[in-house]
A = this chain, B = another copy of it.
Amino acid sequence: MDDTDRTRVIIDTDTAGDDTQALVLAALSDQIELEAVTICAGNVTFNRQVENAKYTLQAAGVGNNVTVYEGAQSPLQKSHDHAEHVHGEGGLGGSLFPQTNIPSGDIHAVKYIIQAARQNPGEITVVAIAPLTNLALALQLEPKLPELLDQVVCMGGAVNTIGNVTPAAEYNFWVDPDAAAMVIDAFEITLIDWGVTVRDAKLGPDTFEQVAQMDTELASFYSTIIQPVRQFNQESKNNATDHDDDTATHPDSVTMATVLNPDIIETATQCHITVDSRSGPTRGYTLADELDVLGYPSNARVIKSIDTDRFQTILLDTLAYADPHYTY
């Protein structure tokens, strides 16, 4: 494949748990040119997220080639809770608190995003698998960002289904609903929400067993980072979302998978979306007008279903052969 055909991607991440697999997929796909990784306040303490990202890139063999830029250290206006009860204290499962000594990029993540977009108009895809603070700030400082970027693919929101942090909201949108509202209003995003994640990107004991049989470092890394969410799911009330006993959701890696292999998307819908940025019970709620009753023009593409088997194959190929495209 010619380099010029690759999708040029910046991943914006609050690296913990499944964020790592999204990074690994991007680093190892020959369809993706991973331009940089930017860090946004979210899952665990900020510096931990930075180190987790560097460590993961290193594990995927690109630690020295892909720069990590540090971004917003808090949401725009709201205060937020980390999700250490889901991802474990450090965010990598178990007791790994890496100290890579790899330097961060020397400018702010927000500035990096603006600069990359300006220098490569229409070329860059942002894959946002974290709260949207960095992207919102970049938009504020460069109002032309929507035209300068190729596309924005977000993991976030709970589209007409129960959320994971409150009944009304998914974690990324809940953490910084002000940023989410700004980004949704300004960009025509593609959205992988919590609903499709639970429906189509939840893997179980069979997958875990297959990974356990592999004798690779990436497989071992996966098994470690997936541990806390497996435990969390087993201990949670889960009948409403029909969790199995031993499962792990893959919101961020499935999002990345749809970018490196769009064929795994089965169905999608265009509709109008807004995010509730108010404090209170519906903080971070996604108002997704799928039945088109409000009369606003569509501003988002919502992925409704994904081919779970193909997603699993992509993931397993990555862990076994260091190639997300080994089978497909």
Contacts and interface: CB of A to CB of B under 8 A. Distances in A.
Closest 5 CB pairs of A and B: A240-B290, A160-B162, A282-B282, A237-B292, A281-B287
Contacts of A110: 141
A160 B278 CA distance: 19
7 contacts: A77-B181, A111-B111, A167-B287, A168-B287, A237-B291, A239-B269, A240-B290
B137 A291 contact: no
Given A77-B178, A161-B161, A282 B287 contact: yes
A140 B137 contact: yes
A21 interface: no
B141 A291 contact: no
A186 to B, nearest CB: 10
Contacts of A95: none
A64 interface: no
Contacts of A287: 166-168, 281-282
A289 B167 contact: yes
Contacts of A240: 160, 269, 290-291
Q: How many copies does the complex hold?
A: 4
Given A137-B140, A274-B281, 16 more contacts: A77-B181, A111-B111, A137-B137, A160-B240, A166-B287, A166-B293, A167-B288, A167-B289, A167-B293, A238-B291, A240-B290, A276-B282, A281-B287, A282-B282, A282-B285, A282-B287
A67 interface: no
B140 A72 contact: yes
A69 to B, nearest CB: 12
Interface in A68-93: 72-74, 76-77
Indicate the member of A77, A143, A289 with the most B CB atoms within 10 Å. Answer: A77
A269 B269 CA distance: 31
A51 to B, nearest CB: 19
A228 B135 CA distance: 40
Interface in A240-292: 240-241, 269, 274, 276-278, 280-282, 285, 287-292
A165 interface: yes
A299 to B, nearest CB: 14
Contacts of A269: 239-240
A311 to B, nearest CB: 22
A1 interface: no
Nearest to A302: B240
Nearest to A165: B293
Interface in A110-143: 110-111, 133, 137, 140-141, 143
B182 A76 contact: yes
Given A167-B288, A281-B276, A291-B167, A182 B77 contact: yes
Contacts of A276: 281-282
A294 B74 CA distance: 23
Contacts of A310: none
